[in-house]
Structure 1
Amino acid sequence: MCGIVGAFSPQKPFDKLPFTTRNLDRIHHRGPDAQGFYVDDHAMLGFRRLAILDLAGGGQPLYSEDEQIVVLINGEIYNHHELRQRLADHHRFRSRVDGEVLVHLYEERGLDFVNELRGMFAFALYDRKKRRLVLGRDRAGQKPMFYQWSQGSLRFASEIKPLLQDGDKPAVSRAALAEYLRFGYVPSPRTILEGIHKLPAGSVLVADAGTTPRTIDYWKLRFSRDDGRTVPPREAEQWCKDLRSTLSSAVKMRLESEVPMGFLLSGGVDSASVFALGVGGLDKRRAQAFTIGFRGAPIDESEAAAEVTRRYEAKHRIIHLERSEATSLDEILHRVEEPVSTDALLPTACVFEAVSRAKVTTVLSGEGSDELFAGYTKFARATRDPELERVGPLERYLRHEEFVFTAEERATLLGEDIVDPRFDELEREARELDPLSQMLLLETRLRLPDRINLRLDRTSMAHSIEARAPFMDHGVMEFAATLPHAVRTGPNFNKHALRHAMRDALPEVVLSARKAPFHAPDTWFTDAGQDEALLGPDAIAEAGLVKPEPVQALRARARAGDRAAQERIFSLYVLHAWHRAFYRRLCA
């Protein structure tokens, strides 16, 4: 797990160094153990290392035998042993680090090499002979890659901050603002800043001499139309058996580590399943689970989590936080770098702070399950609401999200109607599916990479922790996409397939529990003084992101108890907290 900074000038040599160690130091938290560089007339690659495998000999950059191929990789290649064994007859490996297989796979297969990788990763590969740079991102979008193309030069990094030279003042993108108001985050390839892009999940960007960089999709999760049939018990049992086998394989391949490892355990079926399938593969002295709770929160799953760990006789750390112990929202948003309208930001950051204090470097988590097995109540509402039968897939998907704004509301807030056709192709694909499959397609293409994984990556890496999510293994995702809905959800949309698959491995208190939201008490996010400081008319006018008048009207509705208005106000609160915490600090 690491951080990457780089630049590439395919047509002409650099006039001056495109970045310095100061740029790399901005992501020191992603790799506090070591750094490395490669520099020539056309490319400059910088690397910060968080050592997980081959602690002594796994530094980067990584090279081919003739040093014509140079690679930096952030993340893990979980099938590297299998790939290494196949490649060893024809290539010489210099280390035991997993990322070295990329060098030799590229030599063997060219750009198709990425199809053989199983893992979470973002990489930069420089082919000196062809004067080509390839950037890549894993299928689920677990690891980030940002880039900007300007005046014939490509700059890229694991986070936004290293891309910005001192004094840079990029504009806030109006199109991205519209998308934030529509989704609660900014979907790839945009970012909130003009001119800086996110490489989409499951794609590579190729920059060759003489051409404009092009993006190529190498993987997309596909869903088929479900016919609504009843599944016989014997067939349903086999589906669940195969699900458990597939998930177990994904968990086991994520247990390789030469540093202390733990599990994030909320008490829900997702993280409990990962824990139950993985704890047996570790020495009990090394296996420990982390559960966090919040003083004053309406829901506390710590006892359910404790029952899981008692069953497996594993070490368990339960941390109950006071508000005074929690990281501020401003600090979290400065780390996350983009506005994300979710109340899970704060508790996720607190979990990783606790893991860091325990000196654990790698954890397994349960993220990705709800998006595959329809774990949110919105799925049931959206597929059972007769009013949605006549609307398009995106409207159906977003209608029950109270924190997002309608097209009319967005136009009022922004003072203009910003219509972007870039989602038309995705919507056409979704129209061929049944309502639930439409929801799952949009959830895994949009929300999973650009909201869930944005939060998971930034809050973990801020504390130099690698978070591995077995549900986002592409084998698990592809299997889940084939499940009949009768098996996936059951009659009650309670992740029936996963609960049934794990029924002999988890206590009843977990198997029978309903989905519980992961958030801190509402009062931990906002107070009256901060609300006025961020959303008062003068503050809104000064920030210049949205119009002040509709915000004040919305605040009045929220104070009167309108739940939808309260959710929308929270989105605007996060947006303006981001502007204060990240944008103003960046451009000061």
Structure 2
Amino acid sequence: MCGIGGILYSTGTRNLLQQQITQLAVRQQHRGPDGEGLWLQSPHALCHQRLSLVDEKGSAQPFADASGRYMLVYNGEVYNYQELRRELQPYYRFTTEGDTEVVLAAWLIWGVSCVQRFTGMFAFLIWDTVTETAFAARDAVGVKPFVYTVQQQTFLFASEVKALLAVISTPAINEYALAEYVIAPYLSGDGEAIHNGICYLQPGTYLQISRGAVTTHSWYRFGWQQQQQPEEVLTAQMADALAQSVAMSLRADVPVGLFFSGGLDSSLLGAIAAEQAAYKPTAYTITFQQHHDIQFDATTIVNADDLPYAQKLAHTLQLPFHRVEARHRSLAGSLQLLAQINDRIPAWEQEFSQHFLSIAAAKKVKAVMVGDAADEINYGYFFLLKDTVNTSPLGLLNLFGGTERLGLLSPRLQRLQPLEYLNHTYRQLAAEAGYDFARGGEESVLAMSTLVHRRWLQRLLHNGDIHTMHAGLEARVPFANREVLTVASQVLPRYGFKAGMEKYVVRTAALGWLDKAYAWRKKSALPRDPRLGKGYQQVLHTLLQQRNDFVDACLHRPALEALCQLPTVTENERMMLFNMICLINWSKVYAN
């Protein structure tokens, strides 16, 4: 995994282009602790920051073919590169041993259809120095990021928004996207970016770029098929797909670790990896200060303390086990850092856990497997079983305090009617996939699952990438590989939620590796420290004492001040406090 960036069709001088591409590269250099490269042929420039897991001595980027005509910058892992290399060898002479050259060769031989052959996660751009045109693509579910903007006729792209903001004037805030963050942070930032004019290349899409023209094309979109296989066939196929996907995700010239919660997803990855790998992957589990004093009462998405489950299973699987304590020298300072790292604005308190896990793991390994995408494509959220949630997008928004959150916006932004706007937007998203929330039954579940897959998952994957890569660590996502997606697309709600249990097919498949205590453990999200509510109140109160034009223009100070005065803080109120602190801190760095 790496950082990529470029400036094409620059209208400035060569010296200015050199300065800008250097600034862009420096702003995301944390993504590439193992090396960096820069190519400049005015008015075009490319840069690359390298985290090397395969072919450490070769595959430096930007990478050119033998003729020098085509230049590639690539971020990700194409796990089946060895198989593809054998297919391509009759038509292409390889000079390196890694997947980078395979990506370029595949495009040269197979053209646009090359992306259909890739198993893994990727975002890349290929530049043709003769025609001065480019091709860019992103993986099937969007594990690897690709952000871009067009300024007059200049096309700029990067792996992180903050890198673009280093070389362009900070764009105006998209007020509908801002309202979405306040009301539904867990769905925010992908459909409409928070900055006007900055775009996220969508999952399963590619760009064709020429001077003055950028066209977008879809090459893959996950969706549930109407043909239903027998349950036992689906279970066997899921088990085979998971085994194959984990084996692929372990391919590297260096050891791969594991974020390990003791929940179904990471437990299953750990059990399969322990069986397949030539070494035992190190398991990293988050804990908190005075951890054993915490009451992990069941809440909306967290149901139990992970630590006992993780410790016991790591011992059973003989995995090296590493407890990572989330320790805040200053809660205000940690919140400020989180907002600086996440240029899409932190959405969940669990991002603290991702941050501390990433810092700890990066000291020992260069990559970790994570359980992301398991829930979002396999009916993994138990709130999907509630008719009060599934029959309308507003049901999901109100589950997490949507109406109360509306009151945090300034009266001016409330007049935009953001709840109605989001309800319409999310219904339209489901309709594009062929589902209507109002029809009830399985169709309502599929409509809500579409929203979860296309928005919730995108936010989750972004957070995973931004926090791991801040530490120079690669997050590998076996549940997002095409083998698993193919099987998951055949599972309809009647099997996904059989016997009232979420993720039923995955759980049944997991019995081939796990005891029932783990295979049937109820879904519980990555934990967060539930004791921080009072601390958040103090931090927000301090921020509100400062003059802030962004707060006055976009938020409702009386509502924020009322949050600070609550005698007790519920889960939803604690999340609102967290989000408002992060938004205000973010605005100081990334807003005008």
Under a length normalisation based on structure 2, what TM-score does the superposition of the two structures give?
Answer: 0.88
Q: Deviations over 1:16-49 (max 9, x none)?
A: 4162423212212100111112221342101111
Show the counterpart of 1:86: 87
Name the CA distance, whole Å, in 2 between partners of 1:356 and 1:300. 24
Distance 1:405 1:167, change over 3 A: same
Q: Deviations over 1:215-271 (max 9, x none)?
A: 1121111124599xxx9xxx3223211111111111111111112321111000100
Show the counterpart of 2:149: 148
Q: How does 1:319-330 map to 2 (within 5 A)?
A: 319-324=324-329, 328-330=334-336
2:203 to 201, 204, 214: 201
Show the counterpart of 1:8: 8
Distance 1:426 1:39, change over 3 A: same
Distance 1:187 1:97, change over 3 A: same
Check whether the contact 2:338–2:582 (CA below 8 A) recurs between aligned residues.
no
Check whether the contact 1:413–1:546 (CA below 8 A) recurs between aligned residues.
no
Distance 1:166 1:372, change over 3 A: closer
Check whether the contact 2:375–2:381 (CA below 8 A) recurs between aligned residues.
yes
Distance 1:176 1:265, change over 3 A: same
Distance 1:166 1:253, change over 3 A: closer
Check whether the contact 2:75–2:144 (CA below 8 A) recurs between aligned residues.
yes
Show the counterpart of 2:368: 363
Check whether the contact 1:348–1:456 (CA below 8 A) recurs between aligned residues.
yes
1:261 aligns with 2:256: yes
1:303 to 296, 304, 308: 308
Which letter does structure 2 place at the counterpart of 1:304? Y
Partner-residue secondary structure (3-state), 1:314 = coil
Q: How does 1:256-405 map to 2 (within 5 A)?
A: 256-284=251-279, 287-294=281-288, 295=291, 296-297=293-294, 298=296, 299-324=304-329, 328-357=334-363, 359-381=364-386, 384-385=387-388, 389=391, 391=392, 394-402=393-401
Deviation at 1:214, TM superposition (A): 1.5
Show the counterpart of 1:101: 102
Deviates more, 1:474-483 or 1:423-432: 423-432
Name the CA distance, whole Å, in 1 between partners of 2:394 and 2:551. 32
Partner-residue secondary structure (3-state), 1:47 = strand
1:237 to 229, 232, 236: 232
Structure 2 residues without counterparts, runs of 5 or longer: 297-303, 437-441
Show the counterpart of 1:517: 525
Check whether the contact 1:457–1:467 (CA below 8 A) recurs between aligned residues.
yes
Task: Give the alignment's Cα RMSD to 1 decimal.
Answer: 2.9
Partner-residue secondary structure (3-state), 1:482 = coil
Check whether the contact 1:57–1:95 (CA below 8 A) recurs between aligned residues.
yes
Distance 1:378 1:551, change over 3 A: same
Partner-residue secondary structure (3-state), 2:526 = coil
Show the counterpart of 1:491: 499
Show the counterpart of 1:546: 555
Check whether the contact 1:346–1:519 (CA below 8 A) recurs between aligned residues.
no
Deviation at 1:289, TM superposition (A): 1.3
Deviates more, 1:176-185 or 1:164-173: 164-173
Name the CA distance, whole Å, in 2 between partners of 1:337 and 1:356. 21
Deviation at 1:563, TM superposition (A): 5.8
Q: Deviations over 1:498-543 (max 9, x none)?
A: 2211114113432342222323213447433212123569557656
Name the CA distance, whole Å, in 1 between partners of 2:336 and 2:407. 30
Show the counterpart of 1:427: 430
Show the counterpart of 2:189: 187
Deviation at 1:333, TM superposition (A): 1.9
Deviates more, 1:361-370 or 1:182-191: 182-191
Check whether the contact 1:540–1:546 (CA below 8 A) recurs between aligned residues.
no
Check whether the contact 1:293–1:300 (CA below 8 A) recurs between aligned residues.
no
Check whether the contact 1:412–1:547 (CA below 8 A) recurs between aligned residues.
yes
Name the CA distance, whole Å, in 2 between partners of 1:441 and 1:548. 35
Check whether the contact 1:54–1:97 (CA below 8 A) recurs between aligned residues.
yes
Distance 1:572 1:145, change over 3 A: same
Q: Deviations over 1:417-442 (max 9, x none)?
A: 16487656423235357111112111
Deviates more, 1:22-31 or 1:170-179: 170-179
Show the counterpart of 2:215: 214
Deviation at 1:292, TM superposition (A): 1.8
Which letter does structure 2 place at the counterpart of 1:214? T
Which letter does structure 2 place at the counterpart of 1:347? S
Partner-residue secondary structure (3-state), 1:534 = helix
Which letter does structure 2 place at the counterpart of 1:4? I
Check whether the contact 1:223–1:482 (CA below 8 A) recurs between aligned residues.
yes
Name the CA distance, whole Å, in 1 between partners of 2:564 and 2:227. 42
Show the counterpart of 2:73: 72
Deviates more, 1:533-542 or 1:65-74: 533-542
Partner-residue secondary structure (3-state), 1:121 = strand
Check whether the contact 2:274–2:281 (CA below 8 A) recurs between aligned residues.
yes
Name the CA distance, whole Å, in 2 between partners of 1:318 and 1:272. 16
Check whether the contact 1:226–1:437 (CA below 8 A) recurs between aligned residues.
no
Show the counterpart of 2:415: 416
Q: Could you tell me the percent identity over the aligned residues?
A: 23
Show the counterpart of 2:439: none
Name the CA distance, whole Å, in 2 between partners of 1:81 and 1:226. 33
Deviates more, 1:216-225 or 1:406-415: 406-415
Which letter does structure 2 place at the counterpart of 1:483? V
Show the counterpart of 1:534: 543
Distance 1:302 1:412, change over 3 A: same
Deviation at 1:325, TM superposition (A): 8.9
Partner-residue secondary structure (3-state), 1:4 = strand
Deviation at 1:554, TM superposition (A): 5.7
Check whether the contact 1:145–1:157 (CA below 8 A) recurs between aligned residues.
yes
Q: How does 1:158-169 map to 2 (within 5 A)?
A: 158-165=159-166, 168-169=169-170
Name the CA distance, whole Å, in 1 between partners of 2:191 and 2:322. 39
Which letter does structure 1 place at the counterpart of 2:455? L
Show the counterpart of 2:300: none
Deviation at 1:411, TM superposition (A): 7.5
Name the CA distance, whole Å, in 2 between partners of 1:468 and 1:109. 26
Check whether the contact 2:409–2:555 (CA below 8 A) recurs between aligned residues.
no
Check whether the contact 1:403–1:571 (CA below 8 A) recurs between aligned residues.
no
Aligned residues: 567
Q: How does 1:130-145 map to 2 (within 5 A)?
A: 130-145=131-146
Which letter does structure 1 place at the counterpart of 2:31? R
Check whether the contact 2:410–2:553 (CA below 8 A) recurs between aligned residues.
no
Name the CA distance, whole Å, in 1 between partners of 2:147 and 2:334. 25
Name the CA distance, whole Å, in 1 between partners of 2:162 and 2:450. 31
Deviates more, 1:411-420 or 1:31-40: 411-420
Name the CA distance, whole Å, in 2 between partners of 1:56 and 1:537. 51
Show the counterpart of 1:31: 32
Name the CA distance, whole Å, in 2 between partners of 1:541 and 1:130. 45
Q: Deviations over 1:440-460 (max 9, x none)?
A: 1111111111x1011100111
Partner-residue secondary structure (3-state), 1:142 = coil
Name the CA distance, whole Å, in 2 between partners of 1:267 and 1:72. 37
Partner-residue secondary structure (3-state), 2:362 = helix
Which letter does structure 2 place at the counterpart of 1:431? Y
Under a length normalisation based on structure 1, what TM-score does the superposition of the two structures give?
Answer: 0.88
Deviates more, 1:175-184 or 1:324-333: 324-333
Distance 1:423 1:110, change over 3 A: farther
Check whether the contact 2:405–2:576 (CA below 8 A) recurs between aligned residues.
no
